[in-house]
Chains A and B, each alone.
Chain A
Amino acid sequence: MNTKELIIEKVKEKFSESVEEISDFRDDLSITIKKDQIVNLGRFLKENSDLQFIMCKDVTAIDWATRKKRFTTVYHIYSFKLNYTLRLKSNIDDDPPTIETVSPIWPSANWYERETWDMYGIKFINHPDLRRMYMPEGFEHHPLKKDFPVLGIPGSLPLPNKAD
């Protein structure tokens, strides 16, 4: 049994109702799961002794702009035992977008989720320190949303006052 089949079998065994889609594009395995099960799936993948996805490489989001479920959060996790990078996805349909944090499972997700909040405005519930990562505190917009113009919004960043 190869790695991909093993992962799919283990996940389907436990989360058969919550898995929305399993896709395999260009040799990248990607599992889409219901929003409320992402923490459970993450914990299962980390703690299962056959899988051991102990490292979270990346958390980000996609803004689909026109879809009904506008945002998708994307997690890349890595297992040293299987030598495999797995992608988890979760579609968010509520407005304003919220999802449970995975930082208790993978501490490295702390900053990645802060960055995603900064860029997309997705609130991570129970996140220990949800501040902006790059943009200044007090900035109102979330730049990577598709409705934010490339040239920025005039006046959204206050310029320093002129000296007397």
Chain B
Amino acid sequence: MDRIKQIYNDEKLLKKLQEDRDISIEDVLENEMVINMGPQHPATHGVLRLVLRLDGETVTGIIPELGYLHRGYEKMAENMSFIEFIPHTDRLDYLATMCNNVGYVLAVEKLAGIETPKRAQYIRMIVAELSRIASHLIAIGTFAMDVGAVTMVMWTFREREKVNSIFDRIAGARFTTSYTRIGGVASDIDDQSIAEIAKFLTELEPALVEMDKLMLSNRIFIDRLEGIGILPKEDAIALGVTGPNLRASGVEYDVRRAKPYLFYNEIDFKIPTFTQGDCLARYFQRGDEVRESVKILRQCLDKIPQGEVIANNPKKVLPHKTEIYSKMEELIHDFMIINFGINPPVGDTYFSVENPKGELGFYIVSNGSGQPWKLKIHSPSFCNLQAVSQLCKGAMISDVVAIIGSLDPVMGEADK
């Protein structure tokens, strides 16, 4: 109440209010308007804030503001051992947790020079591709929901739910998996998991056809995406756009092919590309990548060898819990690794993997101690968001939502 009284007594403020009342409808039409979109806006996929400058309904300028989900993971990483950071990678891109786990441990293994058994590498490939399918399904579903096709999100979540159940069986957690370990994976996958994955793949293929039917017979969906938010090839490279968004603009760049990691060089798969670079191309791109992932998974299930799932390297790799309780040597190693870390040699490495959102890179600087001296996360969502201001210039407000949905940013990763 006091504040209201204050306003009535404040002459300056009263005068200003009086002036505002004199605004006519013509004034509004002639002037530009600045509006704030987010951070709490359902269509911005997390806490992304956009400040739009509007001329009527046309966007003349747009400024993205990041940092609403900044948790300081790079700072935290400098104060914990390499092993302790694995669960935190789940929280980066929380829609593709397995991909982050795999990328991080591969980066550490490159730095420390650890060889991982072949079976573990194949398991990593399987979980990463499953995670990619889940992430792309969510991207397609929420994208369709953003432009008004609400049925789609139910269908894609139904399929993604199956992936979560498989992860529950493999890793013991549906969402925050923390499955990989430095030198291998936490546990072996059993025959029933493999059977479940095979069953999921056979169910997914007809579901994808159905989804495409649903979306492509929807005139509104096509009309709202075709020719919207065109990103030319040169601009995509200049702005550092990565992943499906880069390939939808016609650049055939995929880390799995450009610099094969794990055993992607043994697998036969195509890299789908589109040349239009508009929102519709980015939608098709994700659908095609899901189909390629299905192909990769089928080959992985055929080729997966028998053997160990964790490296035998006592100074660097944590022993299994049952051995710690029964053997002296393992207890000592466990104590040393947990308390002092794995001490990689002095140096710095950059390692990147192909995530559903784009290229996820880890730049690690080691000073020889158990904790990284510096760990920089090169997050794909951050790079992709840089293109927003160019894409939205000259578009309508309703296109802004479509463009952000087509870029598919995850703010947990963009804000780190």
Contacts and interface: CB of A to CB of B under 8 A. Distances in A.
Interface in B103-156: 110-111, 113
Contact of B253 (A80, A136, A150): A80
B386 A26 contact: no
8 contacts: A25-B349, A26-B113, A76-B361, A108-B238, A108-B240, A111-B386, A115-B382, A134-B415
Contact of A57 (B72, B349, B361): B361
Interface string A40-75: 000000000000001111101011000000000010
Contacts of A28: 348-350
Nearest to B113: A26
Interface string B36-78: 0000000000000000000000000000001100101011100
Q: Find the residue from B347, B374, B383 having the highest chain A CB count within 10 A.
A: B374
Contact of B66 (A26, A83, A133): A133
Interface of A: 25-26, 28, 30, 54-58, 60, 62-63, 74, 76, 80, 83, 85, 87, 106-108, 110-112, 115, 119, 132-136, 143-144, 148, 150, 164
A29 B378 CA distance: 18
Contact of B110 (A26, A56, A58, A108): A26
Q: Find the residue from A56, A57, A106, A144 having the highest chain B CB count within 10 A.
A: A57
A60 B67 contact: no
Contacts of B376: 58, 60, 74
Contacts of A58: 350, 361, 363, 376, 378
Contacts of B72: 143
A144 B416 CA distance: 13
Contacts of A143: 72, 75
Nearest to B237: A55
Given A55-B237, A83-B259, A25 B348 contact: yes
Contacts of A25: 347-349
Q: Classify the interface of chain B: helix, strand, loop or mixed.
A: mixed
Interface string B290-315: 00000000000000000000000000
Contact of A134 (B3, B66, B350, B361): B66
A126 to B, nearest CB: 18
B258 A111 contact: no
A141 B239 CA distance: 28
B2 interface: yes
Interface in B188-232: none
The 6 A-B residue pairs whose C-beta atoms are closest, nearest first, are A108-B240, A134-B67, A134-B70, A25-B347, A60-B376, A58-B378
Q: Find the residue from B111, B253, B350 having the highest chain A CB count within 10 A.
A: B350
B260 to A, nearest CB: 11
B175 interface: no
B382 A57 contact: no
A107 B238 contact: yes
B187 interface: no
B408 interface: no
Contact of B350 (A76, A80, A112, A164): A76
Contacts of B253: 80
Nearest to B367: A64
Contacts of B67: 132-136
B348 A150 contact: no
Contacts of A85: 259, 350, 352
A57 B416 CA distance: 17
A134 B253 CA distance: 29
B382 A111 contact: yes
Contacts of B349: 25-26, 28
B330 interface: no
Nearest to B68: A134
Nearest to B110: A26
Contacts of A119: 74
Contacts of B352: 57, 85
Contacts of B365: 62
Nearest to A86: B350
Interface in B377-402: 378, 382-383, 386
Nearest to A80: B253
Nearest to A64: B373
